[in-house]
């Protein structure tokens, strides 16, 4: 608790209040061994600067706050409950700041040697309880405070008091630092140093040497940030809860080496209230206190030197007016809600499947924290990738692709905090047709089951042997099926009218174990291509893949219709279907695409000549760029001449152009 020094503040009157004897109870603090089974630290530190000042008991509400991973936590004395809260705090947030204060009734006066007093305070007050800690508990402590406010020492009553206090800390800070802790000096009560701006700065001038010693030991200092006017007006609170801003404004202009000295607000909240429920926040309802804490937390975030504020107090029912237990559930949620979002996890299980003549269906598993996904594509394995679209679902259709070309895809997850790394790469070659996993979901180049009419699905977890098939489907295709009685149909649209296609029908018998149990027919565009087909007999065993391949033409409407119909035994079935466009060969130099390189092609070539070093930008001349550069010159002519075949004569095989 705070006690304002007598005097006059520039912002208003200063109050003085004594402390009840129960505050003298032995209480201290210690951080301790990590408790097995506690929750893990969050990926990112909360941005909230609020924490708890613990006294005597570790309540259920305080446990909620500690488990929310606050930045800062303070315990008074080294009792078992305090150690338990400290252990939980450091387990949940190893990077959090734990502050220890040891209570003592001992006091010193200005007539005593401050150097002696510092050594005595360390030897008789701080060292004994700290030395009684286990090495694990001792290692958890970050900052150790000294005398609280003005309880034990001269402070701000006069220049001589401040000089004494400075010398005290010049000597105490090294004792704390050499013991392995960070010194946290002064514990300044709210509204102090008192007086006008000139007097405040005089007091600061006086303690600068001690502050520098603290900083040399990676330590800091502390202020007790209570609101007395209980306001959210900065011009009022600059004398109370935000009074520390006056100190740092002065440091920036006069002592810039102290402008980043860590400040720990080791007590805070509401004080000095009159009326029922006072002097603390319970003079009014919890909603008002929560509203003020939200405002105050935002103000602390504006000052990077502020480590945080431990709200007074949790655990001691005698300090009822300040007891945070009622608001601890809110405080826990506030701390958790203040954790900044992190970029989402990397998406997994990306699969690219043939989805139609010139489209690819992409699917992937959800990414924790994602609000959308960037879909990226490359013509080269490993990238570089270009973003081609976004999706708020786990699917994307990439359309208008080049038949015969191979594409490489990745996806990344996005949220307000940023973008994840790319997923696994998935590759697919556009077949000009379809690939469907009958009865199953997307697997490799095979899209999820669609384009069907009728039937039921069945799957197995049994392994399927694909060793007897050239270019087999993924095993998952053979582990699922579509079946029906007496028939079912697949209709594949949007193909080239009367265009030639290869149809690959995939099968594996995953239900029966011997031949003769299932025999059925398959009809493609009204032509029966399989009669009483027995999968086990064709494959040589159950759970073994077999493929039957056919060449057919799409009907005038651009469709291929495949019907699976009952034969002489049981029901028809399909494991998977591939429809692949049979493209005519493309030859270098065959500019009119009539499968020869002749005089007509040479005329087109001449019209596109630019000469060496002059880029050809006319889209009509794209096919004339025969070498690796962007001009049409002697090098391109040499390639053309090498492929010259004459009218009606097929060019040499070396002139075949690979898919692009």
Q: How many Cβ atoms sit within 10 Å of the Cβ of residue 600?
A: 14
CATH of domain 441-581: 2.60.120.430
User: 21-35, 534-548, 563-577: lowest mean pLDDT where?
Assistant: 21-35
Residue ranges per domain, the chain?
A: 8-337, 348-429, 441-581, 599-655
Are 33 and 43 within 8 A, CB to CB? no
pLDDT higher than threshold 90 for residue 583: no
Are 643 and 651 within 8 A, CB to CB? yes
The gap from C-alpha 191 to its chain's centroid, in whole angstroms, comes to 42
Q: How confident is the model at residue 13 (pLDDT cuts 50, 70, 90)?
A: very low
- Residue 592's pLDDT is 86
Pick the CATH number of 8-337 from 3.30.465.10, 3.20.20.80, 1.10.540.10, 3.40.50.1950: 3.20.20.80
User: 293-297, 313-317, 318-322, 594-598: lowest mean pLDDT where?
Assistant: 594-598
Instruction: State the DSSP string of 633-650.
Output: SHHHHHHHHHH---TT-P
**Rounded to 10 degrees, what is the CA torsion of 283, 286, 291, 295?**
70
Question: Using CA atoms, how far apart are residues 159 and 583, in angstroms rounded to an integer?
Answer: 96
User: 35-39, 73-77, 277-281, 565-569: lowest mean pLDDT where?
Assistant: 35-39
Q: How confident is the model at residue 217 (pLDDT cuts 50, 70, 90)?
A: very high
Residue of 444, 467, 404 whose CA lies nearest to 576 = 444
3-state helix, strand, coil in the chain (%, to 5): 25, 25, 45
Question: Using CA atoms, how far apart are residues 229 and 190, in angstroms rounded to an integer?
Answer: 12
Residue of 145, 107, 113 whose CA lies nearest to 129 = 145
Q: What is the pTM of this model?
A: 0.61
- Residue 3's pLDDT is 40
Helix residue ranges per DSSP H, 403-521: 475-478
Question: Using CA atoms, how far apart are residues 178 and 175, in angstroms rounded to an integer?
Answer: 5
Q: How confident is the model at residue 1 (pLDDT cuts 50, 70, 90)?
A: low
Instruction: State the DSSP string of 120-156.
Output: HHIIIIIHHHHHTS-HHHHTT--EEE-S-TTSSS--S
Superfamily of domain 348-429: Immunoglobulins (2.60.40.10)
Segment 11-36 mean pLDDT: 29
Give the pair of three-digit tokens for residue 631.
């001009």
* E-strand stretches of 189-253: 220-227
Is 573 strand, coil or helix?
A: strand
- Using a pLDDT cut of 90, give the percent of the chain over it: 87
Residues present in the chain in total? 660
Averaged pLDDT score across all residues of the chain: 92
């Amino acid at each position: 608790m705070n006690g304002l020094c007598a005097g006059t503040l520039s912002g208003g009157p200063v109050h003085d209040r004594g402390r009840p004897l129960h505050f003298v109870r032995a209480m201290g603090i210690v951080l301790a061994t990590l408790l097995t089974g506690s929750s893990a630290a969050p990926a990112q530190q909360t941005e909230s600067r609020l924490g708890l000042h613990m006294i005597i008991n570790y309540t259920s509400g305080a446990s909620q706050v500690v488990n929310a991973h606050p930045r800062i936590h303070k315990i008074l004395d080294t009792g078992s409950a305090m150690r338990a809260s400290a252990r939980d705090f450091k387990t949940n947030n190893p990077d959090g700041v734990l502050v220890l204060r040891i209570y003592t009734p001992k006091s010193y006066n200005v007539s005593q040697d401050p150097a002696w007093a510092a050594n005595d305070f360390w030897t008789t007050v701080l060292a004994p309880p700290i030395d009684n800690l286990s090495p694990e508990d001792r290692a958890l402590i970050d900052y150790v405070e000294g005398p609280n406010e003005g309880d034990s020492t001269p402070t701000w009553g006069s220049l001589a008091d401040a000089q004494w206090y400075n010398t005290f800390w010049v000597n105490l800070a090294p004792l704390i630092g050499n013991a392995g802790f960070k010194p946290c000096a002064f514990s300044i009560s709210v509204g102090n140093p008192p007086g006008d701006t000139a007097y405040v700065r005089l007091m600061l001038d006086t303690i600068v040497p001690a502050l520098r010693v603290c900083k040399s030991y990676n330590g800091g200092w502390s202020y007790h940030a209570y609101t007395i006017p209980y306001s959210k007006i900065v011009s009022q609170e600059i004398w109370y809860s935000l009074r520390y801003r006056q100190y740092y404004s002065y440091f920036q202009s006069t002592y810039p080496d102290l402008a980043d000295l860590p400040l720990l607000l080791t007590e805070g909240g509401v004080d000095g209230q009159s009326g029922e429920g006072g002097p603390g926040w319970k003079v009014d309802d919890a909603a008002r206190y929560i509203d003020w804490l939200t405002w105050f937390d935002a103000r602390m975030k504006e000052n990077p030197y502020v480590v945080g504020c431990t709200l007074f107090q949790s655990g001691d029912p005698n300090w009822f007016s300040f007891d945070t237990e009622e608001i601890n559930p809110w405080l826990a949620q506030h701390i958790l809600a203040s954790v900044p979002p992190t970029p989402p996890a990397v998406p997994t299980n990306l699969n690219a499947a043939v989805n139609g003549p010139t489209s690819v269906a992409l699917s992937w598993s959800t990414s924790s924290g994602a609000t959308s996904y960037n879909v990226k594509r490359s013509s080269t394995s490993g990238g570089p990738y270009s973003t081609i679209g976004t999706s708020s679902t786990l699917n994307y259709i990439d359309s208008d692709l080049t038949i015969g070309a191979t594409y490489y895809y990745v996806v990344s997850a996005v949220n307000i905090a940023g973008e994840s790394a790319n997923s696994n790469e998935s590759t697919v070659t556009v077949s000009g047709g379809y690939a469907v996993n009958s009865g199953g979901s997307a697997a490799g180049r095979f899209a999820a089951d669609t384009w069907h009419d009728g039937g039921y699905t069945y799957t197995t977890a049994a392994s399927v042997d694909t060793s007897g098939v050239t270019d087999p489907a993924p095993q998952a295709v053979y582990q699922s099926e579509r079946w029906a009685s007496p028939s079912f149909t697949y209709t594949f649209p949007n193909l080239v009218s009367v265009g030639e296609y290869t149809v690959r029908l995939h099968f594996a018998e995953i239900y029966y174990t011997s031949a003769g149990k299932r025999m059925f027919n398959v009809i493609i565009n009204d032509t029966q291509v399989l009669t009483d087909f027995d999968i086990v007999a064709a494959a040589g065993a159950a759970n073994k893949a077999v493929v039957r391949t056919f060449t057919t033409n799409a009907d005038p409407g651009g469709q291929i219709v495949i019907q699976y119909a009952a034969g002489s035994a049981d029901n028809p079935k399909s494991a998977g279907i591939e429809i692949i466009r049979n493209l005519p060969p493309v030859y270098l130099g065959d500019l009119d695409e009539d499968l020869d390189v002749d005089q007509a092609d040479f005329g087109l070539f001449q019209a596109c000549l630019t000469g060496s070093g002059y880029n050809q930008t006319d889209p009509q001349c794209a096919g004339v760029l025969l070498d690796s550069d962007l001009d049409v010159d002697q090098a391109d002519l040499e390639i053309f001449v090498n492929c010259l075949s004459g009218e009606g004569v097929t060019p040499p095989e070396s002139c075949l152009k690979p898919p692009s």
